[in-house]
Structure 1
Amino acid sequence: MAQTAISFHFFRGGTSRGPYFRREDLPEDRETLARVLVAALGSGHRLNIDGLGGGAAVTTKVAMLSRSEVEGCDIDYFFAQVSVEDGLVDFKPTCGNILSGVGPAALEMGLIAPQGEVTRIRIRSVNTGAKVEAVVRTPGGQVEYAGEAAIDGVPGTAAPIYLNFMDVVGSATGALLPTGALRDVIDGIEVTCMDVAMPIAIARATDFGLSGYETVEELDANRDFYARMEPIRREAGRRMGLGDVSQSVTPKFALLAPPRAGGTICARYFMPWNCHPTMAVTGAQCLASCVLTPGTVAEGLFTAPEGVPALVLIEHPGGVIDVTVDYQTGPEGFTLKSAGLLRTARLLARGEVMVPEAVWGGK
């Protein structure tokens, strides 16, 4: 069987991992592109045994990079979420963890030149239009991977990568509160539908008869919860103007509970048909905004952080993620100026991934 070789870099970005490609090395049309990504990741088998995927939603993610032609941006970042078992590809969302590796990948691919000891890379999310500045250490003109930064969900330490998110409010729907309400009631459950970096339907864990402190394994074994949650998520998506979301991973879903480990809030984040082992970067920004917006379902579950910018500590199954939020409140409600997070990334491999020529014959 003849095969087509496609160059790639394989990165861990935050608490996710996957192949990073040059956009120009892949098919232009989305239908063929989806088939190529399904073949490359091995979607269609729970272990992704015939591809690069790792059998989990956080390990079947893809980044496609190119030089940006948008003024004020250096790199265009196009994201794809490949399903583990269903052979589906969703181009609607973005991923903040995979974004953590975009700066290093762009440097490794030669899409941007290092600027000195530290390189600032202005990234545009093709999926959502959001703009993010990544600050990457580049001593001697090389990406530095070793360092002292630790993030929960990843063993050891690595060089810090600072992400400063801007223009993320209404990234998918055009509004902070796409339904126009701080709370909606769907099937008897109060839900806050919010869009900051990622549209999410957010509810209180206790409203589902849960504590909010369950492990990932406990939640994923609780199929009654998913059967109750999914119709609510779909209706939330419809009300948010996203249409029929039955085959889409957006909006995501999240449950909130009071903190119990010194954080601001405790959360469980769903992708949406299984529980995230830690916390999505995009999801963390939205949940932090939910916490800081008066009148949402988060109200009464936490003690408000002091000062602006505010440090919001979100407890998740793997530990805690910190989000620094610069915002203001006034007659028009909550206004997000920017959100900053510390992440890490590491180049794991590079080379060529092979896809059957019957899937795509190449450029």
Structure 2
Amino acid sequence: MMSESVQNNSVPQIKIPATYMRGGTSKGVFFKLSDLPEAAQQPGVARDQLLLRVIGSPDPYEKQIDGMGGATSSTSKTVILSESESAEHDVDYLFGQVSIDKPYVDWSGNCGNLSAAVGPCAISNGLVDPARIPENGVAEVRIWQVNIQKTIVSRVPIVNGEVQETGDFELDGVTFPAAEIPVAFMDPADGEGAIFPTGNLIDQLDVPGVGILKATLINAGIPTVFINAADIGYTGAELQDAINGDSRALEMFETIRAHGAVRMGLISDVSEAGKRQHTPKVAFVAPPADYVSSSGKNVLATNIDLLVRALSMGKLHHAMMGTAAVAIAAAAAIEGTLVNLAAGGGKRNEVTFGHPSGSLRVGAEASLVEGRWHIEQALMSRSARVLMEGFVRIPGDSF
């Protein structure tokens, strides 16, 4: 009787070509747009439901056991690539941040870490004109980031006509070395150069239950709310367990994030923040100090300019989101922001900041044009590697 019931309720699985990749300190499932089932080739419910099922969400257990997700914001990610419709770009890159416990895919921002994997994946999947790929050297891949309507330029190393993945470039937060991929985020501010949505380098943010906080609200790379660690009782050298194991702390950070989102004009009421989990990010900064990273590595104050800790999807990130690193670079380059002041103030075009897994150097050039700050580009190096390729399978009635 049991076997008959199973057979009667059985729905065949479908196979979808996909590549599982690490980019920076994140992992995600990459698809070519043309490989998706027809119903999912357009934005909408079918696409969202398909990606949710691929990743294994929503999962009330928050483990994503029945999917490709890894139960963290860094590993609950999807990417859709296609040949660019623009002559100035090689590939169009659409990013979907999949909620772990809710039936929701957030399309409101980019993933800076996975941006490093887009160039290699596009080349390997025939989305870049072969004429632009040298036999040996560097292929410059011009990426159109669809979510935020911005250009990213990735410099992908090529050996014997193939993407080089192995190498000796070390990235804190990633266990093994790999090939270095410099990534440039061009004109990373949103809209028409509105780096500071309020027009202020520092705002006073009134947060219920917390008080009035100094905050730098910046939109470069990704909308980010920066606050001082000392103003909320932290040193800036905290690791994940100190924050993620404290439900009151997580609630406080979410409240700060929600009120920052309203002040930045991303939502009209704090009640809407739950449906915009990916943006804005909230981060806290402090002057440099010695600490021991999550891997046991000693990070010395003399080797960094400041400390930064950032939350993603409601939890302290194990390293640093790539887009938040762009925001850090931009804010550090502009004298008078909380990030710049934590780094010692003054004019600077690059900083090295300490995060839970170690440190990272980022750079940006800032200029004041007709009373508005402008960032031409933000630069950082990442690495990427194909972990698996072939097909993902999901039940045919998932979408």
TM-score by length of 1: 0.94
Whether the 8 Å contact between 2:188 and 2:376 is mirrored in structure 1 is: no
C-alpha distance in 1 between matches for 2:172 and 2:109? 23
Q: Does 1:155 align with 2:207?
A: no
Correspondence for 2:273:
245
C-alpha distance in 1 between matches for 2:345 and 2:167? 32
Correspondence for 1:288:
329
Structure 1 gaps of 5+ residues are none
- CA offset at residue 38 of structure 1? 0.6
C-alpha distance in 2 between matches for 1:338 and 1:312? 15
- Which of 374, 377, 380 aligns to 1:338? It is 377
Correspondence for 2:220:
196
Q: For residues 245-264 of structure 1, what are the structure 2 equivalents within 5 Å?
A: 245-248=273-276, 249-260=278-289, 261=300, 262-264=303-305
Whether the 8 Å contact between 1:328 and 1:336 is mirrored in structure 2 is: yes
Correspondence for 1:176:
195
Whether the 8 Å contact between 1:253 and 1:272 is mirrored in structure 2 is: no
Runs of 4+ in 1 over 6 A off after TM superposition: none
- CA offset at residue 314 of structure 1? 1.5
Q: For residues 89-238 of structure 1, what are the structure 2 equivalents within 5 Å?
A: 89-112=105-128, 113=130, 114-117=133-136, 118-170=138-190, 175-186=194-205, 187=207, 188-238=212-262
Correspondence for 2:296:
none
Whether the 8 Å contact between 1:130 and 1:197 is mirrored in structure 2 is: no
Correspondence for 1:59:
75
Whether the 8 Å contact between 2:330 and 2:365 is mirrored in structure 1 is: no
**Partner amino acid, structure 1, of 2:384:** A
Secondary structure (helix, strand or coil) at the match of 2:182 reads: strand
1:6-32 per-residue CA deviation (whole Å, 9 max, x = no partner) reads 100111101000111001223113211
- Which of 17, 24, 32 aligns to 1:14? It is 24
Correspondence for 1:359:
398
Question: What CA RMSD, in Å, does the superposition of the two structures yield over aligned residues?
Answer: 1.7
Q: For residues 74-93 of structure 1, what are the structure 2 equivalents within 5 Å?
A: 74-93=90-109
**Partner amino acid, structure 1, of 2:284:** L
1:288-318 per-residue CA deviation (whole Å, 9 max, x = no partner) reads 22222222223542234776xx221111001
Correspondence for 1:311:
350
Identity of aligned pairs, percent? Answer: 31
In terms of mean alpha carbon deviation, does 327-336 or 287-296 score higher?
327-336
- CA offset at residue 330 of structure 1? 6.5
Whether the 8 Å contact between 1:305 and 1:312 is mirrored in structure 2 is: no
- CA offset at residue 282 of structure 1? 0.9
**Partner amino acid, structure 1, of 2:223:** P
Q: Does 1:23 align with 2:33?
A: yes
C-alpha distance in 1 between matches for 2:345 and 2:198? 25
Whether the 8 Å contact between 2:333 and 2:365 is mirrored in structure 1 is: no
Whether the 8 Å contact between 1:68 and 1:74 is mirrored in structure 2 is: yes
Secondary structure (helix, strand or coil) at the match of 1:242 reads: coil
Whether the 8 Å contact between 1:257 and 1:265 is mirrored in structure 2 is: yes
**Partner amino acid, structure 2, of 1:231:** T
- CA offset at residue 223 of structure 1? 1.8
- Which of 31, 52, 62 aligns to 1:38? It is 52
Secondary structure (helix, strand or coil) at the match of 1:224 reads: helix
Structure 2 gaps of 5+ residues are 1-10, 290-299
C-alpha distance in 1 between matches for 2:198 and 2:49? 34
C-alpha distance in 2 between matches for 1:75 and 1:330? 31
C-alpha distance in 2 between matches for 1:343 and 1:61? 17
Whether the 8 Å contact between 1:257 and 1:266 is mirrored in structure 2 is: yes
- CA offset at residue 50 of structure 1? 0.6
Whether the 8 Å contact between 1:165 and 1:340 is mirrored in structure 2 is: yes
The structure-2 alpha-carbon separation of the partners of 1:167 and 1:4, relative to structure 1 and needing over 3 Å to count, comes to: same
In terms of mean alpha carbon deviation, does 181-190 or 350-359 score higher?
181-190
For the pair shown, which has the larger CA radius of gyration, 1 or 2? 2
The structure-2 alpha-carbon separation of the partners of 1:357 and 1:330, relative to structure 1 and needing over 3 Å to count, comes to: closer
- CA offset at residue 326 of structure 1? 2.3
Correspondence for 2:343:
302
Whether the 8 Å contact between 1:192 and 1:296 is mirrored in structure 2 is: yes
